[in-house]
Structure formats: C-alpha cells, structure tokens
Amino acid sequence: MLSAIKKEIFLRKDELQNKNLQSLYFGGGTPSILSADEIKSLIDEVLKYFSFENDIEVTLEANPDDLDKDFLKGLSNSPVNRLSIGTQSFFEADLRLMNRAHSASEAEDSIKRSQDFGFENLSIDLIYGSPTSNLEIWKENLNKTIALEVPHISSYALTVEPKTALENWIAKGKVIGPKEEEQNKEFYYLSDFLKDNGFEHYEVSNFAKPGFYSRHNSSYWKYREYLGIGPSAHSYNGFDVRSWNVANNQQYIKKLNSNLLAKEEEILSQNDQFNEMIMIGLRTIWGADIENLKSKFSDQIIEHFQYETKLKLEEEILIIENNHLKIPEKHWFMADGIASDLFMV
C-alpha cells in the first residue's frame, strides 16, 4: 500500500498548480495504524515534488487507542504538528453505542498524552444527539473538553447509517432513534457554550479558538484546489473537475503497480458548480460571495438565484453582509435544507 501511495504521488505530482503546500492531511480512514516512521516516509515522498510553507499545517487523524507514548514520541520528531482525534464522547454508553474501540478514559488520556508530547494544535470530534445521551450528559462532555484545553472541535449530530448495527438495534426496538428536537437543542447549546468559552463558530460543525481554524478544511470551504492520494481519496482542480480513487485496496494497488492511476473523474456542469458553491458557502461564517457568483455563472442561473433568495431575505432566513449571502447562525442547524432550496435542478 505504501509503495502504491508513493507511486501515485509521483504520477500526480504535476496536477496542483501551486506546489508550495499550506496543508497536508492524513485522514479519511485510520492513518494512525501506520508507524511514525511510515508516516515520515510518506511526508518525505511528498517533499520530493512539493515544497512546504514555513508554517504548514500537517494533520494526522487518529483513534485515541492508537496514541500511545511510543507512537507520539515518533510523531513529535516528524513534521506532523496537528492531531485530529476521534474522541466522539467521554461517556462509555455513547462509545459502546457507536461501536468505538476506545474507552472513555482512553479518550481523555490520549488528549493529555498528546499535549505532553508537545501537540497543542489538537482537534477532537464530538457527537451529539445520541440516544444514550441527553442535554446534561452533553453539558458534561463539553465541560470536559474545555477543561482539557482543546482548541478545535468538530461536532456532528448522530446519524443512523443504512446497514449498521445501530439501524438494526433501532428497528428491533433495542435503542430509541435520535430525536431531531433534542439534537437541535444540543446543537444550539454547543454553539452558545463554546462561544462563551472563547471559540469561534466558523462552520456549521466546526469551532476554533482564534488562530486554530483548520487550514485543510477551510481550503475545501473556500473552493480551492486539492489533491487526494490513496484509496477513496477525492481531488478537485479548483474549477470544474472532481476525481476520486477506487475504494478497493487491491484494485488500487494493482493499478499503481502497473503505473496506472486508479481514479475516475467528472466534469462539473454549471449547475453542479453553482450548487456546490451555495452549499459550501452557506455553511460558513464567510457565506457565498455574490460578486463571484455573478461573474462565474450565466444570467439564467443568477436570475434563479435572485428569485429563490428573495423571500428568504425578506424572512431573514438569509442575510447579505459585505456582498456575501449568509445564513444567520440561529438557523444554522437547518443550513443544508436552506441551501438545497436554492439549488439549480
């Protein structure tokens, strides 16, 4: 797998216009199963064809149970300078429901250990609206997060995915399904609580102390080009082409061993590009740049845009600030639905 990934880096080294990288992200799976030396070898491979900004953000997604002392010691001697830890909850019942391998104590200890090894730029994932939780438990989760001095939080409502154990348990009546009303309540408590504690709510699901915005995710949200390497990885050229690699590991390796790229791509139509820019922009504090939309899209699309936004602006479900269309934060829980109402179909 590592050889195939290195081969793909070589074959795609000319796809990015900007070869001076601001962000490098190991994620989309469980990269913390690699050793620190293997991670460093991949970074060295990237450096053969790209340069790094002096303050590059190099993030590794990790499960709490992978962050033992030996692994963290090795990472601390690598360019990795940010960890995104899949904490999910500090409560055992939540973790069992989500079928997580780590315990509540491991969740907390992994954060403290990472800080002990010099990793101050930490992000953790937290899930709200679980059937095993309630507002009081959610408050305790957030209080624990503040006490641990984590500067970035990504938080998502629990969703029931098809063909999962959770879906089966709900169908059999073993577990009560998540309730939207409770999730709504916990979302707005989350937002208010974190802002009261110095965080900025800069994207629907993301909160950061000043200076700790995720540079990697912000690039997605600002519609910049990115290159994804490895099985299932997605890429975007910053304009009209998206591509994705095959998900099957064996197929991926076989293709690369034959010096062939294991990817497919699509050309985004004007409607696709418009819909994406609306969806992504309206999930952030920056909003969707109206002048950019007008310069990029046809008169027909802009007429549709103005017609669909008119009533929502009157009802203040949407607002315009500094020529950017935004959703007021009090409506952010419904952001995806609001954005989809504006789509070209």
Tens digit of pLDDT for each residue in 150-191?
A: 999 999 998 878 877 777 877 888 778 778 899 999 999 999
To which residue do tokens 């590592």 refer? 2
Rounded Cα distance, 21 and 55, in Å: 10
Q: Residue 118: how many CA atoms within 13 Å on its side-chain side? A: 10
> Is 210 exposed, middle or buried (CB count within 10 Å of its CB: 0-12, 13-18, 19+)?
exposed
Q: Which of 4, 85, 70, 66 is nearest to 37 (CA)?
A: 70
Position 73 scores a pLDDT of: 97
Q: In what order do the strands lie in the sheet with 319-321?
A: 288-289, 324-326, 319-321
Rounded Cα distance, 42 and 46, in Å: 6
Rounded Cα distance, 154 and 165, in Å: 24
Rounded Cα distance, 300 and 302, in Å: 6
Rounded Cα distance, 42 and 221, in Å: 26
How many residues belong to the chain?
345
Position 156 scores a pLDDT of: 95
pLDDT tens-digit series, residues 62-100: 999 999 999 999 999 999 999 999 999 999 999 988 888
H/E stretch holding 39: helix 36-47
Task: Using DSSP bridges, classify how beta strands 122-128 and 152-157 pair: parallel, antiparallel or unpaired.
Answer: parallel
H/E stretch holding 45: helix 36-47
Phi-psi bin for 323: left (phi > 0), alpha (psi -120 to 50), beta? left
Q: Which of 47, 12, 75, 22 is nearest to 215 (CA)?
A: 22
Q: Where are the beta strands (DSSP E) in 268-344?
A: 288-289, 319-321, 324-326
Instruction: Give the residues of the chain that fall short of pLDDT 50.
Output: none
**Domain 18-221 = CATH 3.30.750.200:** yes
Instruction: Kindly report, as residue ranges, where domains of CATH 3.30.750.200 are found in the chain.
Output: 18-221
